[in-house]
Homo-oligomer: A and B are copies of this chain.
Amino acid sequence: MEKTKVLFHVSENEVWPKALTNIQNFLKDVSDNQVEIELVANAGAVNFYYDNDKVNLHEQMSSLSSRGVKFAACRNALQAHSLKEELLPEFVQVVPGGITEIVKKQSMGFIYIKP
């Protein structure tokens, strides 16, 4: 059976806790191996990956990553905010363009959700 593929789009820093709760709750209802989940952060939301005050949420993200959730950061946004890719947490993957990534993944059958 084909996996259910879901893309979460986060474009504002404030939305992160809600987005992570969304994914946590969703994973209570489905088996990890039945879904493919990606979160694309673009615009100001990329700053969150660098916020060391958010230890608990970073741990939550790292834990979700180990369960197969892909966390992506838009390179355009990183550059616009002068953020260094090498300082990203290791569970984050850089994508050249956040919108391009979202379009590509929706074209591949991902369901779009804006938390």
Contact = CB atoms under 8 A, between A and B. Distances in A.
Candidate in A11, A22, A106 with the most chain B CB atoms within 10 angstroms: A22
Contact of A112 (B25, B74, B100, B112): B112
B112 A26 contact: no
A21 interface: yes
Contacts of A113: 9, 99, 102-103, 112
List the number of copies, as a whole number: 3
Nearest to A106: B111
Interface in A1-59: 4, 6, 9, 11, 18, 21-23, 25-26, 28-30, 42-43
A21 B43 contact: yes
A23 B42 CA distance: 13
B29 A18 contact: no
